[in-house]
């Protein structure tokens, strides 16, 4: 059972995490949700479309203008508090690698810290333990925040993913994070080339076999673009195909930009797998 905030999710229940970037230079939406009102509208729409988790980020993942901890806090804390006020049942996640930001957003009502840079600040897990919130433990291949991979190599990429993420997860539990609130993430694109990300996808059953819930962040990423040789705005089909495969292979949480489309894919996979019934069943019955 996955427990985040006031929500509980069964092991075979797919969970959508909607991305809300509080940055003026986001790689995907180019600042569309940097201002409060567009961002709050995005949250409301995502919840209506089926997102159980809202993932709020105050710093662009890739290289760009320097954003210090104080500015990241300014972009996220007040917004977290307002989302909590408007949507008391939603799980609020904050995408950060800094313990100072983690403490501030937990005080404001965050339920989950999404550490996409793989424990580069070990005090972030301590914050999660102190507040009793969830933690995403990601494999980033030792990359520093906001850097791109360069000639990265692994003897066995999934072996490294398993070693790093499970160690981070066990450490989080030792620090007081509830075991049922810890997730592991293979970290597509982070510290990886496209072939690494593809291999991590097809070997997801090795992650699910650990017993930790698996989160995948696939949405419009470079490995999709390179695999299909398409630009950023043409990666939806590739993203949804990868989502379907990941769902079939046992991933549970999906960090996405397109909530409605992802929800349809996950419902279809669940029905094919026999975990869900069709919404309607008329054909051949009359």
Give CA–CA dist 286/284, Å, rounded: 6
- 277 Cβ partners below 8 Å, 6+ apart? 271
At 36 the three-state DSSP class reads helix
The angle at the Cα of 234, spanning 229 to 239, to the nearest 5 degrees, equals 85
Q: Minimal CA–CA distance to 182: which of 122, 98, 243, 115?
A: 115
* Dihedral angle over CA of 263, 36, 232, 203, nearest 10: -50
Give CA–CA dist 180/185, Å, rounded: 15
Give CA–CA dist 145/58, Å, rounded: 13
At 233 the three-state DSSP class reads helix
- 221 among known catalytic residues: yes
Please pick, among 60, 75, 221, 235, the residue that the annotation labels catalytic: 221
The two tokens of residue 200 are: 């991590």
Neighbour tally for 74: CB within 10 Å: 15
The packing angle between helices 236-248 and 194-202, to 10°, is 40
Please pick, among 151, 255, 267, 275, the residue that the annotation labels catalytic: 255
- 3 among known catalytic residues: no
H-run or E-run covering 57: strand 53-57
Report phi then psi at 238, rounded to 5. -65, -40
Give CA–CA dist 82/229, Å, rounded: 40
Which residues are annotated as catalytic? 221, 255
């Amino acid at each position: 059972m996955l427990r985040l905030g006031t929500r509980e999710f069964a092991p075979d229940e797919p969970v959508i995490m909607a991305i809300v970037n509080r940055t003026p230079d986001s790689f995907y939406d180019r600042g569309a949700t940097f201002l409060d009102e567009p961002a709050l509208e995005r949250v409301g729409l995502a919840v209506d479309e089926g997102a159980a988790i809202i993932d709020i980020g105050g710093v662009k993942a890739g290289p760009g203008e320097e954003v210090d901890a104080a500015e990241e806090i300014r972009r996220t804390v007040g917004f977290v508090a307002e989302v909590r006020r408007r949507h008391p049942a939603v799980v609020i996640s904050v995408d950060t690698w800094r313990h100072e930001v983690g403490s501030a957003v937990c005080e404001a009502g965050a339920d989950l810290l999404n550490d996409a840079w793989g424990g580069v600040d070990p005090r972030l897990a301590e914050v999660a333990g102190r507040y009793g919130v969830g933690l995403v433990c990601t494999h980033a291949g030792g990359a520093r925040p906001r850097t791109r991979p360069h000639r990265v190599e692994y003897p066995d990429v999934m072996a490294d993913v398993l070693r790093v993420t499970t160690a981070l997860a066990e450490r989080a539990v030792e620090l007081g994070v509830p075991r049922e609130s810890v997730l592991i993430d293979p970290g597509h694109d982070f510290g990886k080339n496209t072939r690494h990300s593809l291999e991590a996808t097809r070997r997801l059953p090795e992650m699910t076999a650990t017993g930790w819930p698996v989160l995948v962040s696939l949405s419009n990423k470079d490995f999709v673009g390179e695999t299909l040789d398409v630009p950023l705005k043409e990666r939806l089909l590739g993203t949804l195909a990868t989502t379907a495969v990941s769902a079939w292979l046992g991933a549970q949480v999906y960090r996405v930009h397109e909530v409605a489309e992802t929800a349809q894919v996950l419902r279809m996979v669940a029905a094919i797998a026999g975990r869900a019934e069709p919404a309607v069943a008329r054909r051949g019955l009359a």
